[in-house]
Structure formats: C-alpha cells, structure tokens
Amino acid sequence: MNDSTNISKKDPDEFDFLVKLAINLGAVEAKVIPANDIVVENRVLLKCTAGCPSYRKKLTCPPFVPTVEEFRKMLKEYRAALLVKFDAKIETDDEVGRSLLRHKFDESAPKKLKENAIKFLSDWDKEKHRINLAMLELEKTAFNQGYTFALGFRSGSCSLCKECNIREGICLHPSMSRYPEHAVGVNIKKTIENAGMTISFPFQKKPDPIVLLLID
C-alpha cells in the first residue's frame, strides 16, 4: 500500500507536469492532493438512487460501478490525486440552473424554462465531452510517465452514446468511458473545499466543472 502522506516528501514538484498540462488543456486551476484527502461518503449515492435519470441506465453509473466500500479500498492503494477545475463555456439563467432536471422533465414547468433547460443540457453534454477529452489526455500522459494506475474520472454521467448498451452489459466505448466521481461516493464539494479550492453549487449562470485524476 502506498503512503499518500509522502507525496510532498518524495518530490514536491513530482506532478508539476500534470498541473501544467491541465492548464494547457483549458483548466483554470489544478491542484495535487494526497489521495487520502478525497472525501468518500455513503450518502452521496442517495443522489444517484433518488432522482437521477441515469441510475440503472448507464454502465458507468450505479449499480454497475464499484460500491462505495469497494472504492474506499481501491483508493487506499493510490498515492495522489489531481483536482482539475475548468471554465465552462456555456451559460443559462439562474432559475434554470437551480432546477435543471425538474424543468426538463416536469410537464407542468413553464414552456420557456423547459426549452432553456433542454437546450442547456444538450450544450452541456458537448461541453462535458471537451472536458472529458482533456481528462483522458491527462490520464494518458500520466500513464506514459510511468504512473500506470492513473485513472481519470468524468464530469457528469456518460453521454458518449444516445442509449447505453445496458441490455448486453458491454460498454461500446471502453477506452473513453469513465465513472463520474459521485457514482463511487466521492463528495467532490467537500474534497475541493478541503483543498482550498472554490466551487459555486448550485451554480449561477454556468457550472464550475471540477474533475478528479487518481495518480500512481
């Protein structure tokens, strides 16, 4: 098992190449933290099981992913993590942002709010794809530098396919699909606050996408 408390003692600049690459890929901030500073909570999955339209609909979401307890055990084998904050290139009004899914799915929602929510979520899928390509590049770069267990997460639930191949239980894009952090119990809000970073949630005007890369 790796001692994640020793990342700075070994070489304080060890992961600078990933921080610099993240900025070059469009991040506005990137910070290395010990892996054991990642906050993992059982209750996070309540947000998946109660109200998320992706639950049981995507192979990268519960219940098809490692359980919270399984992920806790895996996380103990990692030494470091990179928190990467991006600047979203899309905006919507505050009222839509506070209740996106309700405005999209609730038939009683005002027509204009529903239209705005649907458009924003469609644009957000494209924006997430841009961010996720950056995370895959970070993962690949870490891997090629000898950190063979480097693993990036994704911003939000997977949107690579119009409909996930749940029936056969086989991902059609395994080289690109990744888990969202919350699917395995990561409380990203607490994690970034403990790291001295900021997030606006619920967001105003536009999201603050913050994504995680495990390194070892």
Taking each helix axis from N to C end, the angle separating 16-24 and 111-144, rounded to the nearest 10 degrees, works out to 140
Q: Give per-residue pLDDT as tens, 159-214.
A: 999 999 999 999 999 999 999 999 999 999 999 999 999 887 767 677 789 999 99
Q: Give per-residue pLDDT as tens, 41-95.
A: 999 999 899 878 889 999 999 999 999 999 999 999 999 999 999 988 776 766 6
CA dist 181 to 38, 94, 118, 122, 184, Å?
Answer: 10, 25, 24, 21, 6
Q: Going by C-beta distance under 8 Å and a sequence separation of 6 or more, which residues neighbour residue 139?
A: 150, 151, 152, 213
CA dist 112 to 95, 97, 198, Å?
Answer: 11, 13, 31
List the one residue out of 122, 116, 34, 46 whose CA is nearest residue 83: 34
Strand order in the sheet with 27-34: 27-34, 80-86, 210-215, 151-152
> What b/e readout covers 187-210, taking b as 16+ CB neighbours within 10 angstroms?
bbeebbeebebeeeeebeebbbbb
pLDDT confidence of residue 1: 44
